Structure 1
Amino acid sequence: MATAWRWLGFAVLAMVAVKASRLSLSDASAAKKLAFVKKTVSSHGIVIFSKSYCPYCRRAKAVFKKLKKEPYVLELDQRGDGSEIQDALSEMVGRRAVPQVFIHGKHLGGSDDTVEAYENGTILTLLDIDSTNDL
């Protein structure tokens, strides 16, 4: 009987060790994805985290087309790690929904935020566009 309990104890310890290693791997992976998001945002003037089929994402991208500005777009549904990147975005900005738009490293928000910034002129300031000469 003591041998059975000993083996059960070893089995439980082994399961705990495996679970702990999985957690540390997922924590490391999450940290890498967060670092990837931050590097992407800081490396490009305009970044849109998007999904190719999303009508709200198309709406946000249309704003930049009107402004003749080419955003760096990451289509999360076309990446194997898209869900993990979306989780990292959620951790970073508090929203998991797409699109998520960044201008010069500053989080603008989603589709409604982008359209509102376009309509009220805020986006022109963020992009350093002179509305009288540049549009």
Structure 2
Amino acid sequence: MSEDWLKTSIMAKRAVAKGATGATHSLTIEQQGGFHYVYGPYAKPTLSIDPGGVVVVETEDAFGGVLTKETDSPTAKLNFPYLNPQCGPIAVKGAKKGDCLAIYIRDVETRGEQPAGTTCIIPEFGGLVGTGST
């Protein structure tokens, strides 16, 4: 995808970074330490960057890497409700409560010898479930 749109975007015209690319930062699994499993103000930032900064993040899959074979049983191997490990939070210097942050995802790469997507059907769990688990 061409990044020419960025030069004429509202981010370039009105944003603090004016569409300029800043320093590149890395956030590996080792640097992350423990993962988080909720969104919100519940964790201190793992990384702090200037507006326009680029972050290369390494993370686990939604199942924490425990499902490795087609024969793995999700209900036997997964630790509910600790699914979908999240990196960060990543703080943007100068951003305040109520500000709007524009994030551009440049690329997503999978890891492993044979990168493959994993999905499973778990009773009473998932985005389309009408009842909560007990």
**TM-score, normalization by structure 1:** 0.23
Q: Which has the larger radius of gyration?
A: 1
**TM-score, normalization by structure 2:** 0.24
Q: If each structure's helix is expressed as a fraction of its own residues, which one has the higher value? A: 1
